[in-house]
Amino acid sequence: MKLLVGPKDRKYLVDDEKTELHTNYGVVKLDGAMPGDVLESHTGYKFSVIAPRIVDLSEKLPRAGSIVLRKDLGYIIACTGAGSGDVVVDAGTGSGTSAMFFGNIVGPDGKVHTYEIREKFADIAEKNIKKASLDKIIKIHMQDIREGIAQKNVDIVNLDLPDPWEVVPHAHRALKPGGFFVAYVPYVEQTQKTVEALKEHFSGIKTFEIMEREIEVKGIGTRPKTRMLGHTAYLVFARKY
Amino acid sequence: MKLLVGPKDRKYLVDDEKTELHTNYGVVKLDGAMPGDVLESHTGYKFSVIAPRIVDLSEKLPRAGSIVLRKDLGYIIACTGAGSGDVVVDAGTGSGTSAMFFGNIVGPDGKVHTYEIREKFADIAEKNIKKASLDKIIKIHMQDIREGIAQKNVDIVNLDLPDPWEVVPHAHRALKPGGFFVAYVPYVEQTQKTVEALKEHFSGIKTFEIMEREIEVKGIGTRPKTRMLGHTAYLVFARKY
Amino acid sequence: MKLLVGPKDRKYLVDDEKTELHTNYGVVKLDGAMPGDVLESHTGYKFSVIAPRIVDLSEKLPRAGSIVLRKDLGYIIACTGAGSGDVVVDAGTGSGTSAMFFGNIVGPDGKVHTYEIREKFADIAEKNIKKASLDKIIKIHMQDIREGIAQKNVDIVNLDLPDPWEVVPHAHRALKPGGFFVAYVPYVEQTQKTVEALKEHFSGIKTFEIMEREIEVKGIGTRPKTRMLGHTAYLVFARKY
Amino acid sequence: MKLLVGPKDRKYLVDDEKTELHTNYGVVKLDGAMPGDVLESHTGYKFSVIAPRIVDLSEKLPRAGSIVLRKDLGYIIACTGAGSGDVVVDAGTGSGTSAMFFGNIVGPDGKVHTYEIREKFADIAEKNIKKASLDKIIKIHMQDIREGIAQKNVDIVNLDLPDPWEVVPHAHRALKPGGFFVAYVPYVEQTQKTVEALKEHFSGIKTFEIMEREIEVKGIGTRPKTRMLGHTAYLVFARKY
């Protein structure tokens, strides 16, 4: 995939085999275009060619359902210390965003196993993962993770499911000592049930919420934006010792 | 390094050559101990042996000055899409925490160049990086990043400096198309100066603050913790197109 | 004025002389209706008659421009200790919401002087204040408060103006010892200028922002609302000693 | 009571009959001192004499237990539209802070009935209320509000109790149409129980939390304070129609 950035920072994600991009700013010939090139449309607009980063892919690839936002995903990555070579188990896959962020981090020495039971989502995720060239790193399992986790010596189990407490014993068996359990749950009741289930198996159980506030630095003055997101989910962390 | 987790989840980071660990819970013999083992102190307490993750290392290794917290570091990682194979330029090194988180993510196919002019900090960071086995990935440059960045084709320039605006033109030259500039600044005035300097060279300039709130889920009830951190810094992002 | 509360808690503010209220739920005869009565529309819907409180009036009376929200107004009231008998100077009047909240509190033994230079706003405010029966307590001054405050021995000067720093010396002269200066300003730059101007005359200068978050307690579960207001204004307080 | 404000804005609350104030800045003679006077200690320090406002009294009078903070009290006042002439029922009294804020607002035409079953608290509150000259407005009832509310035609029932749901039916009977029920509860579980109990009797049930953040505007720069309060309580509102 290539990313073209045109006027007003409009982004266009294009397949490598594509030879032409049609935009509101004219047609751009793509033959042999490489990251770093600056192309011109037939009407004279400039387009920069970029190797898309995971943030571009997650922004431009098709989505199904809601995705875990960067404020939350970043916090999960930082608190678990996700890194190159890690083995991550993820569920549900959804459109694959979380799996792709993890896949991008664990790299060729790591592995992401992502579980999804909704065929529609698995299909979208599969295509997205392929387009992100992460299909050697991420494996989609069309299985119900509540029935078990086949993997062993896992570093992180990351759950975006309505009932993560059902996965707690499986996660404990799958994780290596020092491995992290993470659940993303919108409701307090889910948080409580997850914490309760974790107590039997895990240590270091902690729950957080992350609030992101954009600051506008403009000519008229500096101030936080009028609108912000009040809540996405609680993040429940636990660790196997 | 090994991490031993003892009673009350007390953590002990020990060098691999060490043969004995002395704790308040007795002496633990370490000969041949491997991650996954459970050892017993001479007084009968149990200690789990774990391969330390980056979060353990950053918690237990010596610190100098304040460090970038996980809420902020995670957000930087997620918004830049830091991943395996990335080339990151980081300054100032401090005790090396941010560089180590990036190093852990970019892995053997990537590289972190971290700039520090305060010798004391560079020394501490060097030892920490070595103990984290990241010395092949992270290179400390004892240079003033405000005088220039030697690297090219950089994916992310991450700055925790009092005057990041001085680095803006250097960062622009060092970054590859699509690469990210990030500055971590505590004050509004620094944010304004950074944004102003960025406007000449960069696109997609945005500023955020991240608030982290812990939720206590206890027998007595569920509620956010009484104390929280009111502010660490503003995070200024920009991108080269 | 009377407040009628009909089906789905729909509220209707009606003049006392009105004899009929036409609603989507039918026509309600109002002859002799008193607070505490429950009326029935000609189609059989029930309507409770209530003596409107200031929160109903501020909700239902015409507005011009943006108003100071309850989170901010409440904080101003609590931090200044606004109470019965206080003399308050307020500017700009806008549609009169803040003046009316203060008038409702200071009561017949107190006084609110509200300054407005925009005739359109003063007209709306005058009508609203009359409908709220606060016209004996609140006096609108069609004057520029930046040119001076005629009142003496004032308890609170409350400013919702673009340039409150211009009013600082006037406010200092008008306030009694122990009196409070308050400015409501959306931008950081305004906050800085106001604080700077206050330093010459006032003590106890402090700036706050207040965030309000609604919690949904529903059958499906408990969680903060998805949307929240990210920012309205900074509240700058100072005191004359 | 008089309030003296000395060097570094140190505040001293003194009884009117007192003739001398001993401070670290010397002895101040108080004979005939009136608000507006500036006195001098025998060592030459200046002290301003001020008529104490409710915020001074609540700050300087003895406290027992934790008090409702201004961010929360202000929000309650603004959302209920508390004003001159209102009849307020309050429980538990604690050291009387909330009752005193309400008493200061409702004034001589209003009334505050505050319920307390812990004798120690009622004693402290009684003295505080007397010192605040609010004893004609506020009446302490040494009764368990969960057993009933004697008052009728009440405008606001304000509860800071562990089990406000027990008071819901009493509050409903006591309130006039349009009157407000408010509960201040630290835990989610209390919030849920209160909301559940309210559904049978009340309309307009809403829950909020209020976060207060101080902004430091200093020579070195502008930024939110490092520390802030993460949580005090949820505020549950409901209305009788």
DSSP H or E stretch at residue A12:
strand A11-14
Average pLDDT over residues C142-156: 98
pLDDT digits (tens, 9 = 90+) for C74-127: 999 999 999 999 999 999 999 999 999 999 999 999 999 999 999 999 999 999
Closest CA to C228 of A212, B148, B88, B204: A212
DSSP A150: -
pLDDT of residue A66: 87
For residue B130, CA distances in Å to B96, D31, D218 come to 11, 73, 40
Burial of B206 per CB tally in 10 Å (0-12, 13-18, 19+) = middle
Neighbours of chain A (3+ CB pairs under 8 A): B, C
Average pLDDT over residues A25-34: 95
pLDDT of residue A65: 83
Q: Which residues of C touch D203 (CB under 8 A)?
A: 5, 9
pLDDT digits (tens, 9 = 90+) for A59-71: 999 998 889 999 9
Q: Which residues of B touch D209 (CB under 8 A)?
A: 224
pLDDT digits (tens, 9 = 90+) for D104-139: 999 999 999 999 999 999 999 999 999 999 999 999
Residues 166-195 of D with CB under 8 A from C: 176-178, 188, 191-192, 195
Shortest Cα distance, chain A CAs vs residue C132, angstroms: 30
Shortest Cα distance, chain B CAs vs residue D104, angstroms: 29
Indicate if the pLDDT at residue D65 is higher than 90. Answer: no
pLDDT of residue B19: 95
User: How far apart (Å, rounded) are the C-alpha atoms in residues B48 and B43?
Assistant: 15
Query: Are the Cβ atoms of C178 and D55 closer than 8 angstroms?
Result: no
- Name which of D3, D74, D109 is nearest C78 (Cβ-Cβ): D74
Burial of B138 per CB tally in 10 Å (0-12, 13-18, 19+) = buried
Residues 11-40 of C with CB under 8 A from D: 35-36
The structural architecture, per CATH, of the domain B57-239 is 3-Layer(aba) Sandwich (3.40)
DSSP B150: -
Shortest Cα distance, chain A CAs vs residue C192, angstroms: 11
Interface with chain C: mutation pick from D76, D105, D134, highest number of C CBs within 10 Å = D105
pTM listed for this prediction: 0.97
User: How far apart (Å, rounded) are the C-alpha atoms in residues A161 and A167?
Assistant: 10
- Per-residue confidence at D64, pLDDT binned at 50, 70, 90? confident
pLDDT of residue D240: 97
DSSP per-residue codes, D102-148: HHHHH-TTSEEEEE---HHHHHHHHHHHHHTT-TTTEEEE-S-GGG-
Q: Which residues of C touch A66 (CB under 8 A)?
A: none
Average pLDDT over residues A181-194: 98
Q: Which residues of A touch B85 (CB under 8 A)?
A: 107
Query: Are the Cβ atoms of D231 and B220 closer than 8 angstroms?
Result: no
pLDDT of residue B87: 98
Instruction: Tell me if residue A121 falls in helix, strand or coil.
Output: helix
* CB-based contact, B162 to chain D, within 8 Å: no
Matching residue, tokens 């009493």:
D170
User: How far apart (Å, rounded) are the C-alpha atoms in residues D23 and A30?
Assistant: 82
pLDDT of residue B49: 97
pLDDT of residue D225: 98
- Name which of A221, A224, A230 is nearest C226 (Cβ-Cβ): A230
Q: What percent of chain D has pLDDT over 90?
A: 98
For domain C2-52, say whether CATH 3.10.330.20 is its number: yes
* CB-based contact, B108 to chain A, within 8 Å: yes
Query: Are the Cβ atoms of A231 and C225 closer than 8 angstroms?
Result: yes
Listed by start position, the domains of chain B span 2-52, 57-239
Helices (H) and strands (E) in chain A, counts: 6, 15
Token pair belonging to A137:
């790193």
- Name which of B190, B214, B226 is nearest D221 (Cβ-Cβ): B190
For residue A44, the one-letter residue type is G
Closest CA to D129 of D141, D120, D137: D137
Matching residue, tokens 């953040």:
D213
- Name which of B209, B222, B230 is nearest D227 (Cβ-Cβ): B230
For residue D144, CA distances in Å to B62, B107, B173, D93, D141 come to 56, 65, 73, 11, 8
Indicate if the pLDDT at residue A146 is higher than 90. Answer: yes
Strands (DSSP E) along C45-131, which ranges?
Answer: 46-50, 87-91, 111-115
Shortest Cα distance, chain B CAs vs residue D143, angstroms: 26
User: How far apart (Å, rounded) are the C-alpha atoms in residues C207 and C185?
Assistant: 10
- Name which of A220, A223, A231 is nearest C231 (Cβ-Cβ): A223
Could you tell me which chain C residue has the CA closest to the CA of A185? Answer: C223
Query: Are the Cβ atoms of D224 and B230 closer than 8 angstroms?
Result: yes
Shortest Cα distance, chain B CAs vs residue A50, angstroms: 6
Instruction: Tell me if residue A111 falls in helix, strand or coil.
Output: strand
- Give yes or no for a contact between A217 and C182, defined as CB atoms under 8 angstroms apart: no
Query: Are the Cβ atoms of C109 and D108 closer than 8 angstroms?
Result: yes
Query: Are the Cβ atoms of D53 and C3 closer than 8 angstroms?
Result: no
Query: Are the Cβ atoms of B230 and D213 closer than 8 angstroms?
Result: yes
Neighbours of chain B (3+ CB pairs under 8 A): A, D
Burial of B16 per CB tally in 10 Å (0-12, 13-18, 19+) = exposed
CB pairs under 8 A between C and D: 196
Token pair belonging to A126:
């599969």
Query: Are the Cβ atoms of B83 and A73 closer than 8 angstroms?
Result: no
Q: Which residues pair with A221 in a beta bridge?
A: A218
Average pLDDT over residues A70-93: 98
Instruction: Tell me if residue C197 falls in helix, strand or coil.
Output: helix
The per-residue pLDDT of chain D, averaged, comes to 97
pLDDT of residue C97: 97
CB contact burial A100-133 (16+ within 10 A = b; e otherwise): bbbbbbbbeebbbbbbbbeeebbebbbebbebbe
Query: Are the Cβ atoms of A229 and C231 closer than 8 angstroms?
Result: no
Shortest Cα distance, chain A CAs vs residue B66, angstroms: 17
User: How far apart (Å, rounded) are the C-alpha atoms in residues C50 and A59?
Assistant: 52
Low-confidence ranges of chain B (pLDDT < 50): none
* CB-based contact, D65 to chain C, within 8 Å: no
Query: Are the Cβ atoms of A230 and C231 closer than 8 angstroms?
Result: no
DSSP H or E stretch at residue C131:
helix C119-131
pLDDT of residue B65: 83
Indicate if the pLDDT at residue D30 is higher than 90. Answer: yes
Query: Are the Cβ atoms of A107 and B107 closer than 8 angstroms?
Result: yes
* CB-based contact, D218 to chain B, within 8 Å: no
* CB-based contact, B226 to chain D, within 8 Å: yes
pLDDT digits (tens, 9 = 90+) for A199-241: 999 999 999 999 999 999 999 999 999 999 999 999 999 999 9
Q: Which residues of C touch D189 (CB under 8 A)?
A: none
Could you tell me which chain C residue has the CA closest to the CA of A231? Answer: C226
Angle between helix A119-131 and helix A97-106 axes, rounded to 10 deg: 40
pLDDT of residue A64: 83
Q: Which residues of B touch A105 (CB under 8 A)?
A: 82-84, 105
pLDDT digits (tens, 9 = 90+) for C38-55: 999 999 999 999 999 999
Backbone angles phi, psi at B59, to 5 degrees: -80, -35
CB-CB neighbours of D12 under 10 Å: 17
Neighbours of chain D (3+ CB pairs under 8 A): B, C
Q: Which residues of A touch C224 (CB under 8 A)?
A: 209, 230-231
Query: Are the Cβ atoms of A107 and B84 closer than 8 angstroms?
Result: yes
User: How far apart (Å, rounded) are the C-alpha atoms in residues D24 and D7?
Assistant: 10
Burial of D145 per CB tally in 10 Å (0-12, 13-18, 19+) = buried
Note the Cα D210 to chain centre separation in Å: 16
Average pLDDT over residues C149-161: 98
